[in-house]
Amino acid sequence: MSTAEPGDLVRVQTERKRPLGTGLWSSTSQISLRFLGPEEIQDERAWLGDRLRAALEFRQSLEIDATAWRLVNAEGDRLPGLIVDVYGTGADRIVVLQTLAQAMDRRLPLIAELLVALLAPAGILARNDPRVRRLEGLPEVVEVVHGHVPDEISVLEGGLRYQVNLREGQKTGSFLDQRENHAAAARYARGRGLDAFSYHGGFALALAQRCDRVLALDSSAPALAQLRANAGQNGLTNIEAREVNVFDELRELEIARERFDTIVLDPPAFAKNKASVPRAAAGYKEINLRALKLLTPGGMLVTCSCSSNVDEGLFQQILMEAAADARAAVTVVEKRAQARDHPILLAAPETHYLKCFLLRKLA
């Protein structure tokens, strides 16, 4: 193993030299080896091409009601360290990818070439600005690797149209993993709605189709400006966007005895690492406690955690404690995860990073 170069394909074997398969080697990461499977890979082009085609065939089978979707979800598609998202359709289609490990970054030109053959996009953007690349000794860069890529693109999700900033938006431009949870929240929405940590308004726009009015809270003025623009583009006039510290505003709303029939909590990841889990748990409990106090009897709370270090069991325990402190009787209506085009690898619990509970307050 000491002779392997950064990003090499390596053969994996037991201490007794029994072959196990093939992996990707990293010279700097805490994850030194990313296992690919039992096969011996001889032709990298054929291997990558086969897995990209398999990923596309699966997404096509899902009949996704959106023009923005994920093609490759790293380990979930047996392509660790690679994220590929697709925005738009036809001749205007743009691919945004991230190579988050040495091996995938080294193969970026080949990956781009294969994606051009597979999807014929107008352009491919490498959004290689996540800080996690530092763990692989890789620079943080954003660059066009094929064709032309506009700063923004208009996409559809469940009949709603919104703008995505491909170069500066979160992740590859938008939170595509919440798409199906937006639709789930809308199914239960009614009355007065509250969307906390709203960002560009994925949940707020969905709620506004069913609620009388929606209050959207976020600390980012640019994000709220985009939310207002998205609302206007869809003819939704019942959303109020408020720039606030969300923790403080939830307390102020409680003090003012405000009440809501539908509440969404979709905060950023509170636990970036295992050491931050206790503090994150306290944060999750705080916002869910406030939300349950603001919720009317019979109302719905859609509450999320995208912290991979907070597993579903711990998140449910936090919600139970919040309900007890709020003196609220609560039932679980649905347990959800990331959208189906973000598959979870059963052998890698970390890939189940997004937890979404739909709770009903009885009293």
CATH of the domain at 338: 3.40.50.150
Clarify whether residues 179 and 149 are in a common domain: no
Give residue 1's pLDDT: 46
Residue 276 CA: distances (Å) to CA of 133, 157, 249, 280: 20, 34, 24, 6
Residue 7 belongs to some domain of the structure: no
Answer yes or no: do 150 and 179 share one domain.
no
Q: Residue 3 falls within a domain, yes or no?
A: no
Asked whether residue 89 falls in the same domain as residue 233, the answer is no
| CATH number of the domain within which 52 lies | 3.30.750.80
225 and 106 assigned to the same domain: no
Instruction: Say what the pLDDT of residue 286 is.
Output: 96
* Residue 180 shares a structural domain with residue 128: no
Task: Tell me which of 124, 154, 184 is where a domain ends.
Answer: 154
Residue 159 inside a domain? The answer is no
Same-domain status, 278 and 349? yes
Residue whose entry in the numeric block shows the structure tokens 């431009």: 173
Same domain, 105 and 250: no
Instruction: Answer yes or no: do 233 and 318 share one domain.
Output: yes
Q: Is residue 29 part of a domain?
A: no
Residues 220 and 284 in one domain: yes
Q: What's the domain count of the chain?
A: 2
- pLDDT value for 84: 98
Q: How far is it, in rounded angstroms, from Cα 73 to Cα 179?
A: 15
Are residue 323 and residue 231 in the same domain, yes or no? Answer: yes
Q: Please give the Cα distance from 90 to 103 (Å, whole number).
A: 30
Buried b (16+ CB within 10 A) or exposed e, 78-107: bbbbbbbbbbbeeeebbbbbbbbbbbbbbb
Q: Give the pLDDT confidence score for residue 69 in this predicted structure.
A: 98
Hey, what long-range contacts does 46-55 have (CB within 8 A, 24 or more apart)? 48/79, 48/107, 48/110, 48/111, 48/114, 49/114, 49/118, 51/77, 51/78, 51/79, 52/79, 52/84, 52/111, 52/114, 52/115, 52/118, 53/118, 55/79, 55/84
Residues constituting the chain:
363
Q: Answer whether residue 163 is part of any domain.
A: no
* Pair 327, 361: CB distance under 8 Å: no
Q: Is 108 within a domain? A: yes
Task: Please count the other Cβ atoms lying within 10 Å of the Cβ belonging to residue 65.
Answer: 13
In a domain, 104, yes or no: yes
> Is the domain of 231 the same as that of 338?
yes
Domain that holds residue 126: 44-154
Catalytic residue positions, numbered: 306
20 vs 311: CA distance, rounded Å? 30
Last residue of a domain, one of 154, 184, 204: 154
- Reduced to 3 states (helix: H, G, I; strand: E, B; else coil), residue 193 is strand
- Among candidate residues 300, 37, 11, 63, the one with its CA nearest the CA of residue 180: 63
Q: Say yes or no: 203 and 341 in one domain.
A: yes
pLDDT tens string, the chain, 363 residues long: the values are 458 888 888 999 898 889 898 989 998 888 888 988 888 898 999 999 999 999 999 999 999 999 999 999 999 999 999 999 999 999 999 999 999 999 999 999 999 999 999 999 999 999 999 999 999 999 999 999 999 999 999 999 999 999 999 999 888 989 999 999 999 999 999 999 999 999 999 999 999 999 999 999 999 999 999 999 999 999 999 999 999 999 999 999 999 999 999 999 999 888 778 888 999 999 999 999 999 999 999 999 999 999 889 999 999 999 999 999 999 999 999 999 999 999 999 988 889 999 999 999 997
Q: Which long-range contacts (CB under 8 A, 24 or more apart) does 245-248 make?
A: 245/219, 246/196, 246/197, 246/217, 246/218, 246/219, 246/287, 247/283, 247/286, 247/287
- Asked whether residue 287 is domain-assigned, the answer is yes
